[in-house]
A and B are shown apart, each in its own frame.
Chain A
Amino acid sequence: MSVDNTLIVPVEVAALAVNRQTRDTGTPHVFHRWITNFKDIGDGVAPEPAPFSSPEEWTGREDRLGVYLQWELPAALTRGRHDEEEGIGDFPLVPNRWLVVRHTDSTRTLKAWIVESDYLDPMDGSVSFQNPDFVPGPDAEEPAATLIGKCHELTGPWREPTDRRAPFLTAIGPGLLTFSVFQPYNSNVFSLHDSLLDTPGAELPGRERLSYFVAGWYADAGSDILAGTDDLAALLERLQWTPPVGSGSGIRSSVYSGTVLGLDWDLAGPVPDSPCPRPADVTPIVSNSIAEAVAELGAQADGQGALSADEAELFRAFLLGGIDALEERDRPEADILTDRRAHDSAFGPVAGGYRWFIGERGEETGRSTSRAARAAEADTVAELNRRQAAHDTAEAELDAAREHLYHLWWLGHLKKKSDEFTGRIDDELDPGNAQGAAGRVVALAREVARQRAELPWGKSETDLAARIDTLYPAYGARAARRLIRVPAEDFEYSADPVLTLEGANLHAPLTRDTALPCRTPERLVTRASGTSTADVAAVAAQINLTGEQPAALPALLAEFLILDRALKSGAIRDVTGTLPEYGTAPWAMPWQPLFLLWKAEYFPLPLREGDTPHWEFVDGSRYRWKGTGEPGTPLVVSGRQTLAPSAGHIVDGTLQSYARVRDQLSADAVRQVRSQAREANYLSQTLDGFGAALAQRQPLAGLQPTGELADLIGNGDYPPPDPGPLKASDWDPDPVSTFQELRAGQLAFLDLAVVDRFGRSVNLITDPAHFAPEMPDTMRPAHPVSGYDSDRLVELGPRLLQPARLRFDFLAATGDEDTDLTPGANPVCAWLLHNRLDQSLVVYAPDGAALGELRVTLNAGGTREVSWSALPGSEVDRLEQLEPLAPHPYRLLTAVKTRGPQTFDALRATVDRALQTIDPDGPADPGLGFLLGRPLALVRTRLTMNLRGPLRGDVSWQNLFAPVESELPGYPWAIRLGEAQQSDDGLVGYVLDDDYEHFETVVDPAAGGGDYLRPIGDRPSLELDFGDHSTAVATVLLDPRAAVHATTDILATKRVFVPQEFTDLAIARMSVNFRTGPLLAATTALRGPQGATEETVLMPTPAGVLGTWTWSENRGGDWQKLPILSQDQYDLPLAEPEIRSGFLTLDDAVAHSRAEH
Chain B
Amino acid sequence: MSVVIQTRNADSAADEPLLTYQITTTPSPLKASPENPQAPEEIGELIISVARQSGTPADVEWIKVKVPAGTMAPDLATDLNKITPRISLTGWTVRLDGAAKEFVCAPAGSHAPIGPDTGFTIQLSDIPVSRKVGTAPITVTERSRTGNSAFQNRSTVFHLGKFPADFYLRNFLCEPSIIPNGGDVKLTWERSANATYELLYGDVNRDVTNRTGLDLEGIKSDTTFYLRATTGDPSNPVVRILSTQVTVIKPDLSVGDLVVNGMLSVLKSAQFQRIYPTRNRTYRVTNDGILHGVVRANPGASARVSVILYNDDGTMGTQDLYLSEASGSTAVCTSFTVALAGQQRVAIALFDDGWGPGDARSLRLEWRPFGLGELVEQ
Contacts and interface: CB of A to CB of B under 8 A. Distances in A.
Given A731-B74, A733-B72, A39 B98 contact: no
Contacts of A85: none
B109 A732 contact: no
B84 A36 contact: no
A763 B109 CA distance: 30
B99 A723 contact: yes
Interface string A22-59: 00000000000011111110000100011011111100
A322 interface: no
B93 A55 contact: no
Contacts of B79: 634, 636
B238 to A, nearest CB: 15
A918 B70 CA distance: 58
Contacts of A722: 98
B83 to A, nearest CB: 8
B108 A37 contact: yes
B93 A37 contact: yes
B297 interface: no
A720 interface: no
A732 B74 CA distance: 9
A54 B66 contact: no
A635 B217 CA distance: 57
A125 B64 CA distance: 24
A49 B93 contact: yes
Interface in B36-65: 38-40
Contacts of B73: 731
B101 interface: yes
A636 B108 contact: no
Contacts of B69: 725, 728
B142 to A, nearest CB: 15
A964 interface: no
A57 B88 contact: yes
A899 B69 CA distance: 67
A725 B101 contact: yes
A733 B68 CA distance: 12
Interface residues of A, number: 51
A732 B70 contact: yes
Interface stretch (A142-150, A336-344, A812-820): A142-150
B106 interface: yes
B305 interface: no
Contacts of B248: none
Contacts of B160: none
B110 interface: yes
A123 B109 contact: yes
Contact of B109 (A53, A56, A122): A122
B94 interface: yes
B82 interface: yes
A143 B74 contact: no
Contacts of B20: none
B275 interface: no
Interface string A138-157: 00000101110000000000
A39 B81 contact: no
Contact of B74 (A39, A54, A729): A729
A40 B68 contact: no
Interface in B80-107: 81-82, 84-88, 90-91, 93-101, 104, 106-107
Nearest to A57: B88
Given A39-B106, A40-B106, A729-B68, A54 B95 contact: yes
B100 A728 contact: yes
A264 interface: no
Contacts of A87: none
Contacts of A449: none
Interface string A716-732: 00000011111011011
B108 A147 contact: yes
B68 A146 contact: no
Given A145-B109, A728-B101, A50 B93 contact: no
Contact of A732 (B38, B72, B81, B106): B72
B95 A728 contact: no
A53 B99 contact: no
A38 B108 contact: yes
Nearest to A37: B93
A54 B86 contact: yes
B307 to A, nearest CB: 64
A37 B99 contact: no
Interface string A750-788: 100000000000000000010000000000000001111
A128 B109 contact: yes
A416 to B, nearest CB: 5
Given A49-B93, A54-B95, A39 B110 contact: yes
A54 B100 contact: no
Contacts of B91: 35
A638 interface: yes
Interface string A115-149: 00000001101011000000000000001011100
A390 interface: no
Contacts of B94: 49, 53-54
A662 to B, nearest CB: 51
Given A143-B110, A787-B38, A416 B100 contact: yes
A414 interface: yes
Given A636-B81, A750-B82, A127 B108 contact: yes
Given A36-B108, A122-B109, A732-B70, A53 B82 contact: no
Contacts of A45: 95, 97
A143 B66 CA distance: 25
Nearest to A125: B109
B44 to A, nearest CB: 16
A409 B81 CA distance: 25
A54 B85 contact: yes
A638 B126 CA distance: 15
A40 B38 CA distance: 37
A601 interface: yes
B162 to A, nearest CB: 14
A53 B110 contact: no
Contact of A54 (B93, B99, B101): B93
Interface string A623-666: 00000000000111010000000000000000000000000000
A415 B360 CA distance: 94
A121 to B, nearest CB: 8
A1009 to B, nearest CB: 48
A415 B99 CA distance: 10
Contacts of B96: 50, 53
A49 B81 CA distance: 12
B84 A52 contact: yes
A123 B66 CA distance: 27
B99 A726 contact: yes
B108 A788 contact: no
Most buried by B among A63, A414, A634: A634
A128 B84 contact: no
A38 B86 CA distance: 17
Nearest to A633: B79
Contacts of B87: 54
B38 A636 contact: no
Contacts of A50: 81, 95-96
A788 B40 contact: yes
B117 to A, nearest CB: 15
B100 A39 contact: no
B127 to A, nearest CB: 13
Contacts of A634: 79
Nearest to A730: B74
A53 B40 contact: no
15 contacts: A36-B93, A37-B93, A50-B95, A53-B96, A54-B94, A55-B86, A63-B90, A125-B109, A635-B81, A724-B98, A725-B100, A731-B73, A732-B68, A733-B70, A789-B40
Given A39-B108, A123-B109, A414-B99, 7 more contacts: A54-B85, A122-B109, A145-B109, A416-B99, A634-B79, A724-B99, A788-B39
User: Ordered nearest first, which 9 A-B pairs have the shortest CB separation?
Assistant: A128-B108, A636-B81, A728-B101, A37-B93, A57-B88, A122-B109, A143-B110, A54-B94, A54-B93
